[in-house]
Amino acid sequence: MKKTFVIFLCIIMAFTMMAPTVLAADDSEISETGVVFYHGNSYGNMDPVSVSGDYTLPECGFVHYDNYSFKCWRVCGEEMQPGDTIYVDGIITATALWEAIPTEAPTDAPTPPSDNNNTNQVQNAQPDKPGDNTDVDLALVIAIVMGVVLIFVVCIIGGIVILLVIKKKKK
């Protein structure tokens, strides 16, 4: 029974240690309340903002690849424009949403040569761009996993120390 209680206590301690701060994309910490900006498949950096109460969303500081433009911020599932005001009472994530810029097809495009077996033709080929298929920053994931592992190890050591103290008191 006491071992179960100690393990339960360690789990509670781990969650309460993780609750007050959030690791932002640039490895800085925001305590208690603030806004963290996520690039949404683009690149660049926007520093997190520690704020409580009303906050006006800024212009997007991220840069997307060719043929895309900034559409809006997604905040708590809602699409919002720069200049809109949000109420911050915890850690809020603002994700940049992007939309494709429509391109006009050339009117007098050359006709490709006829090739009956089509082995040498690649249609609609576009080069891969870094970040096109990922929504999660790898460095952020690694930092979170390492943080959780570290907290878990600290809790296990704490539990062992508590068990040793309990055993010593019984003697």
Annotated domain spans of the chain? 1-25+137-171, 29-101
pTM beyond 0.75: no
Question: pLDDT-based confidence at 170, cuts 50/70/90?
Answer: confident
Residue 65, pLDDT above cutoff 70 = yes
Across the range 50-58, mean pLDDT stands at 93
Give helix 138-170 / helix 2-18 axis angle, nearest 10°.
150
CA nearest neighbour of 54 among 92, 26, 19: 92
Residue 163 pLDDT greater than 90, yes or no: no
